[in-house]
Amino acid sequence: MATFNWPWVADLAEKCGLAPHLGDPMRIKHFRKGLPKSDRKDAIGQGTLWLRKMFPEVYLAPGEVRRRRGLFRMRALFVRMRTALKNNIHGQLFKLGITIDETSDLFSATGRRILRNRDMDEDSRTELARKLALLDDLELHISRLGRVIKDEVKESEDARLLDSLPGFGEITSHGVLGEMGEVKRFPNGRAFASYGGGLPIDNESADKDLGKRTGTHCNRFLRWIVLEAVNGAIRKSPRMRSLYNRVKGRNKSAPGKARVAVARELMELAYLVLTRRVTYMETPPPRPGSKEGAAKRKVKKAREAKKKSGRKRRRDVPVRTSDRPDHPGRKSFRLTGRKMPRRADHVVDPTAKRDAELASSKNKSQG
């Protein structure tokens, strides 16, 4: 099972020529619910599930993926320790009644110079000096790990693709690749978003709808990475900012849902850029079947037909319709693709028609 100490067991099994399989503890526990429990009976139960083809298998990360995950998680651990230590120093100064308004960064060179000049007892100053020394050590380790991660990112094409996403950087791209493992194990972007805890789950009972919540059974590190990238994505990308504002407007009582919606969009985009091998574009191309795409295809088809025919469209030119001296003539237009107007040569002159009628009546009277 995917317990805390499974990696060395899996490596030992591979060295012995075996093919290890990793199981989901939560689902295995569900199958064994209500049954007697011991190490021997648990092993028999898992073997029975395997023979019945009901074993809930999960992804067994290879050694390279585990190494990449460990590198990022170690840096994340040091960052959390640095944040906790800074908060502790702020709390110590607050207890001593010391406030510093001259600078916004208490731990910069200017802030530390101001701290050295403030009055405090010897024990408090010694405690503060130890905390600042530990903070410097953490900063050193974080910077070294950051350089190692950036060197690996420069050699990775997948990291370059992820770096094109809004809110993503070198550290974030490295962390997402490590937690993802092999992108081919996910059938679609929705599955990857569910793995990262970005997919809402229904919570209904009888006729009561308790709303949707994201489950806790997910990769917590991946969820944390993408949620941290949401802030930068909202600032830099109008598309993500629009999505955030729309969801936040619909859920005013729960604004955190807007951040989860943007995180899910980022995870699905990460899956797309890795599978299609393309960089992210802020304005995506029109989807097949959309009105915008149909209009562009229609214009393109008309241009191709015109180019294939090789004939230019005739312009509308006014022409004289009659050259009779006693007739002023009429102007008509020869329109391409339309029915031609009646020419004046076929129009009977009213004066000539009247003369012809008089002559005809005169001939009848004489006859």
Please check whether residue 292 lies inside any domain of the structure: no
Provide the 3-class DSSP secondary structure of residue 316: coil
Q: What is the mean pLDDT of the chain?
A: 83
Residue 56 or 211, more confident: 56
Residues of the chain with pLDDT > 90: what percent? Answer: 41
User: Distance (Å, rounded) from C-alpha 98 to C-alpha 119?
Assistant: 9
- Whether 146 has a pLDDT exceeding 80, the answer reads yes
Last-in-domain residue among 249, 276, 303: 276
Tens digits of per-residue pLDDT, 211-267?
Answer: 777 777 888 999 999 999 999 999 999 999 999 999 999 888 888 889 999 999 999
pLDDT band at 138; cut points 50, 70, 90: very high
**Are residues 86 and 137 both part of a single domain?**
yes
Tens digits of per-residue pLDDT, 178-200?
Answer: 999 999 999 999 999 999 988 88
**Are residues 68 and 131 both part of a single domain?**
yes
The whole domain housing 340 covers 317-366
- What pLDDT does 364 receive? 63
Please check whether residue 99 lies inside any domain of the structure: yes
Say which DSSP state 58 is in. E
Last-in-domain residue among 155, 180, 199: 155
Please check whether residue 358 lies inside any domain of the structure: yes
285 φ, ψ to 5°? -65, 155
The total number of residues shown for the chain amounts to 367
- Token readout for 244 is 């955030």
pLDDT band at 361; cut points 50, 70, 90: confident
- What pLDDT does 201 receive? 79
**Are residues 20 and 123 both part of a single domain?**
no
pLDDT band at 70; cut points 50, 70, 90: very high
Residue 316 or 61, more confident: 61
Tens digits of per-residue pLDDT, 293-333?
Answer: 666 777 778 888 877 776 555 544 444 444 444 444 444 44
**Are residues 257 and 166 both part of a single domain?**
yes
- Token readout for 201 is 């789950």
Residue type present at position 294: A
Place of tokens 């990262």: 196
- What pLDDT does 331 receive? 45
**Are residues 164 and 271 both part of a single domain?**
yes
- What pLDDT does 288 receive? 65
